Amino acid sequence: MAVLLENISNCVWLAFEALQQDKSGFVNKSKLKVLTANIGTLLDLYGVEKGLEHFRSTSTLNFDQFKYYLQREVFSSLPAKLQVPELRIYETKIAEVCWLVCRKKYISREHRIFSEHSLFQIFRIFCVLADLVPDKTSENTYQVLLHPSEVCPIAQTLTNSLGCIFDEEDFACLSISMGNFRLTPFIAVLESKCLNGVKDDVAISEAVTDIYQKIVEDVIKKGFLSKKGYILPTMREYWFVLRPFELVYYKARNEKDRCGSFPIEPGCKVEPKSGYRISLNTSERTLELGTSNHMTRLQWISALQLASDHSGGFQSFQRLQAAKRRLQRQGRVQEMIRARAQLQQERNARQAAEGQAKELEAVVKEEAKKLTELEQLRVKLEKLLEEETQAKRDEEIVRALQARVLAEEWEKREELETLQQEQRLLLEEERQKRREYEERQREKEEQLRNAEERLAQLENERRDLDKQLKTANEKMKFAEDKKELLEAKLYQVAPVLRDGDRVRRAHSFVPSTKERPVILEVRSATLKRTNNKS
C-alpha cells in the first residue's frame, strides 16, 4: 500500500542507515532479509524475505531498490485503502522494528536524559514530521530532516509542560545556525533547551507522552467531561480522549481502565445545550456530555467538529497538517525566489541604466553644450529609479499590511459567524419555549372556559333542585297540618265512643289513598294515648 509505505519511509531509512557498514548507501541483502522478514511477520506475511536473493544480481541494495522491493513484494498484498486506526497500528509495529535496529545509536549517548521509551516516542514524532530528502553530498543516500518551524512548537510545548521558560530568541538563533535538524541534534536540542534543571523522570516521560499522543496518535483533545448513563439518567465524570475517528472515555486520567468509546463519523452533528452541555448526534445514538464552563464547552464543540470533519479520510490528521505546513513553507520559498529574481532584474536594469549613463557621459564630453542637460537627465533618472524602487517597497509593505488586515478580518468574520450561529440557536430555543408556553396558556384558557361553563350548568341544576326542595317542603308542611287537624278531630271523638263502636266506626271508615298514611299515624297515636291513660 502506497500510503503505509510513504508513512514509514523515514523509519525504514533510519533502520537502513544503521545497517550500512560505510557511507556508500548500500546494504548487504543478508541484513535486509532480517528487516524484511520482521516487517512481513507484522503484516501476516511469511517468507517474503526469500525473494531478495533473486531480486537483482548484486549482493547489496541501495535504499531506492529496497523500497521498490518492499512496495512490489510486501506492501502490495495489503488493501488499496486502510482505515486510519488500522494504518496507525501497522505504522507503530513497523516503527518498533526499525527502532530495534537503530536504537543503539541513540541510547548509547553520554549524559542521556530521556528514557528509552521517551526516546522511542521522540523517534516516532521525528519520523512523522520530518522529510526524506536526497543527500547532495553522496549518491544513493538520503537525509531525514526536520524543519525548525516544526521543532519550535514541540520544544515550546515540552518546556511549558515541565514548568520552564522557553527562550524563543535563543532558539531562533540556534535554528538559523543549524538549519534543518537531524534526529540526534533534535534530541540534543530538546535535552539542552527544554530540560534545563529538570530531574523528574516521570514528569519528563508524561510531557513527551502528551506530545506523542497529539502528533503520532492524533489526539485532538482530552479532558474531564460528564456523561449521561444508559440506565440511570445521572451525569458521571470520565476522562475523555478525542481522535478524528473515535471518542474514548476512561475511569481516570492515567487512561488504563477503558470504559467505552463512540465512533466519530463524517456529518456528526455537535450542538450546544443548556447547562454547559453538548449533544453529539451519531448514526448509532445521541451522546450527551457535560462541561464545567462556557469556554470548555466551546473548545470541545470545536474539537468534536474538527474530528468529524477529518474522520472520513485515509490519512492521519497530523500528517495532513504537516503536509499543509510543508506546502506553505514551499510557497514561501517560491515567493522568496521570485522576490530575489525580481530584485536581480532590477539590479540588472539599474546596471544597464548606469552603463547607458556612462555612454551618455562620453558623448557629453564630446558635446560640451549638452553636458548640463545630460547631467540633469542622469540625476532625474536616478531619482526616478529610486522613487520607483521605494514605491515598489511601499507597495509590498502595503500589500503585506492588506493581507494581514484581510486575514484578521476573516478571523473576526469567522468569530462573528460563530457567535451569530450560537445566537440564532439560542433565539430558536427561546422561540420554541415561547411557543410551548403559549400552547400551554391556550390549553389552560380552554380548561378555564370549560370549567366556567360546567360551573354555570351546576348552578342552574342547583337552582332547579332548590325549587324542587322548596315544593317538597311545602307539600310536607301541608301534609303535617292536615295530619294535626285529623288527629285533633279523632282525639275529640275518641273518649265518647265505646270500644265496639270505635271498632265499627273504624271498619266503616274507609279513607282515601292519600289519607291512609295520615289516618294510620293518627290511629297509632290515639291508641298510644289510650293505653297510657288506662
Q: What is the pLDDT of residue 524?
A: 57
Q: What is the pLDDT of residue 250?
A: 92
User: According to the per-residue pLDDT averaged within each range, which of 17-26, 358-367, 439-448, 505-514 is highest?
Assistant: 439-448
Please report which confidence band the pLDDT of residue 455 belongs to, taking 50, 70 and 90 as the band edges.
Answer: very high
Q: What is the pLDDT of residue 364?
A: 75
Please report which confidence band the pLDDT of residue 506 belongs to, taking 50, 70 and 90 as the band edges.
Answer: very low
Q: What is the pLDDT of residue 99?
A: 92
Whether the per-residue pLDDT at 333 is higher than 70: the answer is: yes
For the chain, count helices (H), then strands (E).
Answer: 16, 11
Please report which confidence band the pLDDT of residue 299 belongs to, taking 50, 70 and 90 as the band edges.
Answer: very high
Per the model's pLDDT, the better-predicted residue between 380 and 519 turns out to be: 380
Q: What is the pLDDT of residue 221?
A: 92
Candidates 16, 161, 439; CA nearest to 447 is 439
Please report which confidence band the pLDDT of residue 523 belongs to, taking 50, 70 and 90 as the band edges.
Answer: low
Q: What is the pLDDT of residue 495?
A: 58
Cα dihedral value 260, 124, 131, 241, nearest 10: 20
pLDDT tens for 194-223 read 887 788 888 999 999 999 999 998 899 999
Q: What is the pLDDT of residue 507?
A: 43
Phi, psi of 39 (to 5 degrees): -65, -40
- At position 163, the amino acid (one-letter code) is G
DSSP string, 213-277: HHHTS---EEEEEEEE-SSS--EEEEEEEE-SSEEEEESSTT--SEEEEEE--TT-EEEEETTTE
Quote the cell numbers at residue 499.
270500644
Candidates 136, 141, 154; CA nearest to 208 is 154
Candidates 222, 248, 247, 252; CA nearest to 237 is 252
Cα dihedral value 519, 521, 525, 528, nearest 10: 110
Q: Average pLDDT in the 372-385 region?
A: 86
With contact defined as beta carbons under 8 Å apart, do 75 and 5 qualify?
yes
DSSP string, 322-343: HHHHHHHHHHHHHHHHHHHHHH
- At position 467, the amino acid (one-letter code) is K
Among 19-28, 78-87, 499-508, which stretch is predicted with the lowest mean pLDDT? 499-508
Please report which confidence band the pLDDT of residue 504 belongs to, taking 50, 70 and 90 as the band edges.
Answer: very low
Which whole-number Å values give the CA distances from 121 to 9, 156, 159, 219, 388, in the listed order? 17, 17, 17, 14, 54
Per the model's pLDDT, the better-predicted residue between 92 and 506 turns out to be: 92
Whether the per-residue pLDDT at 494 is higher than 80: the answer is: no
Candidates 225, 212, 209, 408; CA nearest to 303 is 225
Per the model's pLDDT, the better-predicted residue between 360 and 237 turns out to be: 237
- At position 121, the amino acid (one-letter code) is Q
* Every domain of the chain and the residues it spans: 2-215, 221-315, 385-455, 483-534
Q: What is the pLDDT of residue 357?
A: 85
Candidates 191, 219, 189, 221; CA nearest to 204 is 191
Per the model's pLDDT, the better-predicted residue between 240 and 255 turns out to be: 240
With contact defined as beta carbons under 8 Å apart, do 41 and 94 qualify?
no
Rounded to whole angstroms, how far apart are CA atoms 414 and 472? 86
Quote the cell numbers at residue 81.
485503502
Please report which confidence band the pLDDT of residue 532 belongs to, taking 50, 70 and 90 as the band edges.
Answer: low
| Cell numbers 282525639: residue | 491
Please report which confidence band the pLDDT of residue 525 belongs to, taking 50, 70 and 90 as the band edges.
Answer: low
Quote the cell numbers at residue 224.
474531564
pLDDT tens for 85-141 read 888 888 899 999 999 999 888 888 777 788 899 999 999 999 999 999 988 888 888
384-390: list long-range contacts, CB under 8 Å, 24+ apart. Answer: 385/350, 385/353, 389/346
Q: Which one of 3.40.47.10, 3.90.1150.10, 2.30.29.30, 1.10.3720.10 gives the CATH number of domain 221-315?
A: 2.30.29.30
Mean pLDDT computed over every residue of the chain: 84
With contact defined as beta carbons under 8 Å apart, do 144 and 127 qualify?
yes
Rounded to whole angstroms, how far apart are CA atoms 478 and 526? 21
Whether the per-residue pLDDT at 266 is higher than 90: the answer is: no
Task: Give the distance, in angstroms, between the CA of residue 211 and the centroid of all CA atoms in the same chain.
Answer: 18
- Taking every pair of Cα atoms in the chain, the longest distance, rounded to a whole number of angstroms, is 190
Rounded to whole angstroms, how far apart are CA atoms 76 and 50? 16
DSSP string, 77-130: GS-SS--HHHHHHHHHHHHHHHHHHHTHHHHT-TT--S-HHHHHHHHHHHHHH-
With contact defined as beta carbons under 8 Å apart, do 20 and 26 qualify?
yes
Phi, psi of 352 (to 5 degrees): -65, -40
Rounded to whole angstroms, how far apart are CA atoms 194 and 213? 19
